[in-house]
Structure 1
Amino acid sequence: MELSQTLAQEIVERAMRILPGNVNVMDASGLIIGSGDPARLFTRHAGARQVIAEGRAVALDATAAARLAGAQPGINLPLYRQGELVGVLGVTGEDAEQLRLPTELLRLTAEMLIEQATGQAPATTCMTVPLLRQLLAPGAAPELGRHANLLGLQPALPRDVLLLEFTAPAPGFGDWAQQRVTHSWCLPRGEGQWLWYRPGAEAPDALLEELPGQGWSLGRSAWIPAPRPWTGLAETTQRAVDLLAVARRLRPDLIRVTLDDLALPTWLQGQAECARGAWLLEPLARLRRADRDGQLLATLRSWFAQDASPQACAEALGLHRNGLRHRLERIQALTGRDPRRFADAAELYCALLLWDQGWANSQS
């Protein structure tokens, strides 16, 4: 395939809306066929010829550029179409390394435009996954949103997060999902998992009912219904991951989980990396050290499982109510928290959830 001058200039014009330096597009022989500097059109680009010869990105600082006729400092990246090198993208600038990320994103845009121009655009999921991974990472740079706009991804459009876990691989799910819900994004995550970001935040039940008909078997789903623009999706994505992990452990009977089902345990799961929450576990750690046979910890678990009902808890443990009262008093003496008082019980309950999530071991 030969890269046309018209397409090359379109790539340049799009790029120069967001990049401060000059942009050049070269064909597969190194000839500049698109440029923000008309004087450079139809001249040979020495950096591009090096890219073509070596098949890799070439960054030139001022010293390296001075050794090449007509070259300027910047970075040059190969452009591919279905594995074939069809051209080179170059961005001028003194700090080539600082230009690397925006130029890599620009290359993604350029390659998509090339595919679209030939009428053989690859699957949407394959085209957008590299950008989506960067867009949805915590602390993503603002220029990522501008590049997403260039691709028509509408990053400012609020989207919810639906995390799907399949019992077997679900090939083709990403493309189906993006076609099924307009302007949605889909991203594979781990073994058999997909993240689906949907505008509108409608309950996903009707969509989930369609999955078996497509040949996909859903194991579990976790839905965070609060829609947010791209700058807030890293946080809600983590919340969906936490919700799925909590549901798998605490409510294995739930297949379609929403945040309302397990809001507090999910929030606590999100605190697992926060050392400031260590104080919450101190009373439970004292109990654990003194409770050599695990009897008191089991009593506390049963107490919460039976909604703090003395009669139900005693029956579940096979105890007389006086025996249960004696154990609760020992728990109070060791922890300084009375499970029969609401405020103290709330602290112990949260601590127990964190403990069961392995948080204590991660801090030791």
Structure 2
Amino acid sequence: MYFLDGQLAKQIVNRTMKIIGHNINVMNKYGVIMGSGEPHRIGEVHEGALLAISQQRTVEISRASEDTLQGVKAGINLPLHYKGDIIGVIGITGEPTELGHYGELLKMTAEIIVEQANFIEQAQWQSRQKEELIIELIKADGPFSAHQRSWASQLNIDLEAPRVAAIIQVQTDEEETSANSMLKQILHLLENPSRGNLVAMTSMTELVILKPAFLDGKAWDAELESERIDQLIARLPDELRSRLKISLGHFFPQPQQINRSYQTALETLAIGQQMQPSQSKYLYEDYSLLVLLSALKDNWRGQELMAPYQSLIDADKNGQLTKTLTTYLQHFGDLQQCASALFIHRNTLRYRLDKIEAITGSNLQQLDGLLQLYLGQVLLE
């Protein structure tokens, strides 16, 4: 059952009074005036409307009989219907004999306004529900709940469809309303055509997109998805493109792991902006090791991993030894190539490596010692 409220009644009055030069009243299903060209009458009970509702017919009131009913002036009162139910009454003030040709026209106009308002309200409700579901999916962990499945079914969303998360962020030093306006432009582009994207605003400056993972209908292809992101960026105005950051998370084959995809997109965005601030697009595949290790940084295990490399940084005042280690790692322990890259003698390189081992307590001739220094460097830098 749909109910008339004051805002919609006012809208009907304003729009229909432009059609004719007579006062219009809109009453709810209880006969209370909700909107009127004579605002002082709002809130009064209109007995003519009560008659129209109870008898389910048009009620005409002449000037001669207007004093016999409470809150009534001469005019025509027509029941308003929505999906077969009477939801209120529209009244036209004036002599009924002069208003007959207006009645059905205004009734039809008012009912169209009600239908439009209900359609917009339902669309807005569905959009809010979809956003809330998306946000719940990216925050939840584990199998989908019965509630989530029912919720998705009502919104015609297939939770079993393979998806991958992407994040779009607008960089701004101005008011957030500016960024929000830009995000709405992007949202429009993503939904026209939608290509099955599920999109939600997670903040005034950020969108999350749960994208269908199989663009070719068969398998996940990160390169193909990267090309699709390039196409989106190309559709954007120059001003917006220069302030946009997009990250694409990792694809997990289990649909209920979409929250993990979102987490990898978040971490890819953070790491990508730190390492390549001038870029607009960041892909998980380009930063996968850093993303996987990022959770260790503030963990005691991460602290232990970083300890040997941290001791090297503390002891290496001019940065010579850390540069030597970086080059050594880049050349996979090949002494000759490393020495050549550093423009030093091989014996000098051996001396520096011995100092690194003494400071860090790591054996560079063993994989676990070398690996710990490499991971410590990754985590710290």
State if a TM-score over 0.5 links the two structures: yes
Given that residues 310 and 376 in structure 2 are in contact (C-alpha distance below 8 angstroms), is that contact kept between their aligned partners in structure 1? no
Which residue, 176, 195, 205 being the options, matches 2:189?
Answer: 176
Once the two structures are TM-superposed, the CA of residue 292 in structure 1 deviates from its matched residue by 4.1
Once the two structures are TM-superposed, the CA of residue 115 in structure 1 deviates from its matched residue by 9.3
For 1:287 and 1:28, the matched residues in 2 are separated by 80
Paired residue secondary structure (1:157) = coil
Given that residues 124 and 175 in structure 1 are in contact (C-alpha distance below 8 angstroms), is that contact kept between their aligned partners in structure 2? no
* Paired letter, 2:136: Q
Which residue, 330, 334, 338 being the options, matches 2:359?
Answer: 334
Paired residue secondary structure (1:118) = helix
Once the two structures are TM-superposed, the CA of residue 116 in structure 1 deviates from its matched residue by 8.8
Once the two structures are TM-superposed, the CA of residue 273 in structure 1 deviates from its matched residue by 4.1
Alignment map for 1:223-302 (pairs within 5 Å): 223-228=248-253, 231-251=256-276, 255-302=280-327
- Count residues in correspondence: 251
- Per the alignment, do residues 191 and 208 of structure 1 end up closer, same or farther by CA in structure 2, a change over 3 Å counting? farther
In the alignment, structure 1 residue 199 sits paired with structure 2 residue 203: no
CA deviation vs aligned residue, 1:157-177 (integer Å, no higher than 9, x gap):
221122334456433322432
For 1:201 and 1:131, the matched residues in 2 are separated by 22
Structure 1 segments, 4+ long, off by >4 Å, are: 114-117, 123-127, 189-192, 227-230, 251-255, 305-309, 315-318
Once the two structures are TM-superposed, the CA of residue 211 in structure 1 deviates from its matched residue by 3.1
For 2:138 and 2:362, the matched residues in 1 are separated by 41
Once the two structures are TM-superposed, the CA of residue 307 in structure 1 deviates from its matched residue by 4.9
CA deviation vs aligned residue, 1:64-120 (integer Å, no higher than 9, x gap):
xxxxxxxxxxxxxxxxxxxxxx9xxxxxxxxxxxxxxxxxxxxxxxxxxx9998221
Residue 139 (structure 2) aligns with: 137
For 1:125 and 1:300, the matched residues in 2 are separated by 54
Once the two structures are TM-superposed, the CA of residue 284 in structure 1 deviates from its matched residue by 2.1
For 2:319 and 2:229, the matched residues in 1 are separated by 45
Q: CA RMSD in A?
A: 3.7
* Paired letter, 2:154: L
For 1:149 and 1:273, the matched residues in 2 are separated by 40
Once the two structures are TM-superposed, the CA of residue 353 in structure 1 deviates from its matched residue by 0.8
Given that residues 187 and 199 in structure 2 are in contact (C-alpha distance below 8 angstroms), is that contact kept between their aligned partners in structure 1? yes
Unaligned 5+ runs, structure 1: 5-26, 30-85, 87-113, 357-364
Percent identity reads: 20
Larger radius of gyration: 2
Residue 373 (structure 2) aligns with: 348
- Per the alignment, do residues 345 and 249 of structure 1 end up closer, same or farther by CA in structure 2, a change over 3 Å counting? farther
Paired residue secondary structure (2:273) = helix
Residue 231 (structure 2) aligns with: 209
TM (norm. structure 2) is 0.55
Residue 45 (structure 2) aligns with: none
TM (norm. structure 1) is 0.57
For 2:359 and 2:332, the matched residues in 1 are separated by 22
- Per the alignment, do residues 240 and 308 of structure 1 end up closer, same or farther by CA in structure 2, a change over 3 Å counting? farther
Alignment map for 1:52-71 (pairs within 5 Å): none
